[in-house]
């Protein structure tokens, strides 16, 4: 089966991802409102060809097999036909990084809701760097050719947005090499281990398999994972 085209491929545009973290005194409602306002301003003034974002809109569960960060974060994806960075995001309080990326969608949902509405389900947002003892081609090979098929086989994903970092857009970006958004149709598909990994007969071997596979290319101490909600603000 042919791989679905990404929005970046469809638009034949550059894609940039901007990371903004919540402030210490900012609750989820205030953080989400601030990010929505920033995105509305950039959408109106810069007129990007496409813009989407994932954002932490509530605290993750206190116990989970996935090590969710308890920080607030937004990952804003901008599709455009020029190289000028979106300074409104870079200048925002809590700015964490800006990256030019190459996007791929090994599996893609069929969008049946209007722009601006929350994407159904929830998103697992993961930011990571390669292990120091492997080169970049090995990192890409293990990520794309080993881990991606494994994720699609084990997890009930209906959208897998895979982004390779090609360039840092500022000098103070967090040094990530990969940004992934894995979306499931229902919250329980991610938070219930038996739905995310499989039935009791296979869950332990699968969890071990995933752990060993990711550990072969990801620098675990610097990896960050977030329970997030996704939005498509402007699509073609």
Query: Residue 86: its pLDDT value, please?
Result: 81
pLDDT (0 to 100) of residue 84: 72
C-alpha span between 124 and 186 (Å, rounded)? 12
In terms of Cα–Cα distance, which of 55, 4, 19, 1 is closest to 159? Answer: 4
Q: What is the pLDDT of residue 174?
A: 87
Q: Which of 188, 122, 121, 184 is nearest to 155 (CA)?
A: 184
159-170 residue pLDDT tens: 999 999 999 999
Is the confidence at residue 178, as pLDDT, over 70? yes
Is the domain spanning 7-234 CATH 3.30.70? The answer is yes
Report the chain's mean pLDDT, rounded to a whole number.
Answer: 93
> What is the residue extent of each domain of the chain?
7-234
Q: What share of the chain is helix, strand, coil (3-state, %, to 5)?
A: 30, 30, 40
Start-end of H helices in the chain: 7-11, 28-46, 87-90, 136-141, 148-154, 187-191, 193-196, 203-215
Q: Residue range 121-138: average pLDDT?
A: 97
Radius of gyration of the chain (CA): 17
Cβ proximity of 65 and 198 under 8 Å: no
pLDDT band at 85 (very low <50, low <70, confident <90, very high): confident
Q: Which residues pair with 232 in a beta bridge?
A: 52
């Amino acid at each position: 089966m042919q791989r679905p085209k990404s929005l970046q491929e469809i638009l034949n545009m550059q894609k940039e991802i901007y990371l903004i973290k919540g402030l210490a005194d900012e609750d989820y409602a205030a953080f989400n409102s601030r990010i929505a306002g920033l995105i509305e301003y950039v959408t109106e003034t810069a007129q990007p060809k496409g813009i989407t974002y994932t954002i932490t809109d509530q605290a993750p569960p206190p116990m989970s097999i996935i090590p969710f960060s308890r920080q607030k974060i937004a990952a804003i994806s901008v599709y455009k036909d020029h190289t000028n960075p979106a300074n409104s995001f870079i200048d925002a309080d809590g700015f964490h990084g800006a990256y030019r990326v190459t996007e791929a969608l090994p599996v893609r949902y069929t969008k049946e809701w209007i722009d601006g509405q929350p994407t159904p389900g929830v998103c697992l947002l993961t930011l990571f760097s390669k292990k120091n003892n492997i080169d970049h081609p090995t990192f890409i090979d293990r990520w794309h050719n080993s881990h991606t098929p494994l994720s699609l086989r084990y997890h009930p994903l209906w959208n897998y947005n895979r982004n390779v970092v090609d360039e840092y857009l500022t000098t103070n970006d967090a040094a990530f090499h990969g940004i992934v958004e894995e979306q499931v149709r229902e919250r329980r598909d991610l938070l219930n281990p038996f739905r995310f990994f499989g039935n009791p007969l296979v869950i332990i071997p699968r969890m071990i398999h995933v752990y060993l596979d990711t550990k072969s290319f990801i620098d675990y101490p610097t990896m960050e994972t977030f329970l997030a909600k996704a939005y498509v603000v402007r699509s073609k």
